[in-house]
Amino acid sequence: MRDLNFSYNSNFSIRDLSLKIEKNSIYVLTGNNGSGKTTLLRLLVGLLKPESGTIKIFDEVLTRNKKQLWKIRQKIGFLFQNPDDQLFAPTIEEDIGFGARNLKLDESEVKKRVKWALESVNLTEYRNFSPFSLSWGQKKRAALAGLLVLKPELLILDEPFANLDFKSVCNHLEIIEKLKKEEKMTILFTTHNIFFVENWADKMCVLNEGEKFFEGTPREGLIQPKIKKLLGNDKDILNLIQKNRSI
Ligand SMILES: Nc1ncnc2c1ncn2[C@@H]1O[C@H](COP(=O)(O)OP(=O)(O)OP(=O)(O)O)[C@@H](O)[C@H]1O
Ligand SMILES: [Mg+2]
């Protein structure tokens, strides 16, 4: 992304933003609530149109050409922040298979991938359930499985860990690492949890009010006092606990 500018019909805008995501890396977009993470993801896949600036994806400059957008989106798996935006088929199994069938894969290949995806996210026993009868965390896992079957080159995950229990978080992290190593995918995810940035990102970008605050490795970034101050950390919570105990 180079020199991107964008604004909603509100007072929020993305200003002069440039960043580079290397192939086969794990790139994390972080920043506080409302800093523009989801907006940036939507710009990247052409769901929003920048006012100025350029986006290059898979070595092609992104235009508004429908054919090009379709071609590019075939190579991208996008996990929405809210899984209800993603699930629609009568059963989980059909939902997960939908994208793979759209790719016109062999039915035996579709079945193989669906089985693998269901196992990967631990939802095999829920395969005949309606997506709407699942809990939030289960829906999030089902939505991820729907992307896994596509084996995309670029996997974009918006807050993949929000509202998941610890076991599911570990499970998702293992999946992400495996996709990078074995499937050579590029993975871009957003989170405001520094722990995941520190331990899983090859590179990170910190956004603040629509502007790039930092881009680099977590090692370089997370020791900077200005970033610690902006993002806050678990020490702030410990201080609060201690303050409450002393009252
Ligand atoms: N459709 C919209 N119309 C107007 N303003 C919007 C719209 N969507 C988002 N915004 C505003 O843009 C800003 C950035 O929102 P965005 O969803 O990109 O933040 P975020 O970093 O993803 O936050 P979170 O961590 O809460 O997911 C917010 O101030 C929000 O109110
Ligand atoms: Mg968001």
pLDDT band at 233 (very low <50, low <70, confident <90, very high): confident
User: What residues does the ion ligand 2 have nearby, CB within 5 Å?
Assistant: 37-38
Model pLDDT for residues 55-107, shown as the tens digit of each residue: 999 999 999 899 999 889 889 999 999 999 989 999 999 999 998 898 888 99
**What is the distance between the terminal CA atoms of the chain, rounded to a whole angstrom?**
50
SS3 (DSSP) at 247: coil
What per-residue confidence (pLDDT) applies to 184?
A: 94
Counting atoms of ligand 1 from 1, which one is nearest the CA of 81? Answer: 27
Q: Determine the average pLDDT of the residues in 180-185.
A: 92
Closest CA to 120 of 69, 174, 57: 174
How many angstroms separate the alpha carbon of residue 34 from the centre of ligand 2? 7
Q: Determine the average pLDDT of the residues in 206-215.
A: 96
Give, as one character, the DSSP assignment of residue 103. Answer: T
What per-residue confidence (pLDDT) applies to 247?
A: 66
Q: Determine the average pLDDT of the residues in 9-28.
A: 94
How many angstroms separate the alpha carbon of residue 213 from the centre of ligand 1? 17
Which helix (H) or strand (E) segment holds residue 119: the answer is: helix 107-120
With a CB cutoff of 8 Å and minimum separation 6, the contacts of 41 are: 29, 78, 156, 158, 188, 190
Helix and strand tally (H, E) in the chain?
10, 11
SS3 (DSSP) at 28: strand
pLDDT band at 3 (very low <50, low <70, confident <90, very high): very high
pLDDT higher for 144 or 243? 144
Q: What is the DSSP string of 153-221?
A: SEEEESSTTTT--HHHHHHHHHHHHHHHHTT--EEEEE-S-HHHHHHH-SEEEEEETTEEEEEE-HHHH
Model pLDDT for residues 108-166, shown as the tens digit of each residue: 999 999 999 999 899 999 999 999 999 988 999 999 999 999 999 999 999 999 888 88
Give me the domains of the chain, ranges plus CATH numbers: 2-246 (3.40.50.300)
How many angstroms separate the alpha carbon of residue 115 from the centre of ligand 2? 30
Say yes or no to pLDDT of 242 above 90: no
Q: Determine the average pLDDT of the residues in 26-50.
A: 95
* Ligand 1, pocket-test mutation among 8, 13, 80, most atoms within 8 A of CB: 8
pLDDT band at 240 (very low <50, low <70, confident <90, very high): confident
For the beta sheet containing 52-54, the strands, ordered from the edge strand earlier in sequence to the opposite edge, are 13-17, 2-7, 52-54
* Ligand 1, pocket-test mutation among 35, 188, 190, most atoms within 8 A of CB: 35
Query: Which residues line the pocket of ligand 1, CB cutoff 6 A?
Result: 8, 10, 12, 31, 33-39, 81, 192
How many angstroms separate the alpha carbon of residue 77 from the centre of ligand 1? 21
> Which residues does residue 101 pair with via DSSP β-bridges, in sequence order?
none
What per-residue confidence (pLDDT) applies to 216?
A: 96
Say yes or no to pLDDT of 196 above 80: yes
Ligand nearest, relative to CA of residue 29: 1
Atom 24 (ligand 1): residue with closest C-alpha?
Answer: 33
24-28, 174-178, 239-243: which has the highest mean pLDDT?
24-28
* Residue 242: C-alpha distances to residues 9, 93, 229 (Å): 43, 48, 19
* Ligand 1, pocket-test mutation among 10, 159, 192, most atoms within 8 A of CB: 10
pLDDT higher for 2 or 231? 2
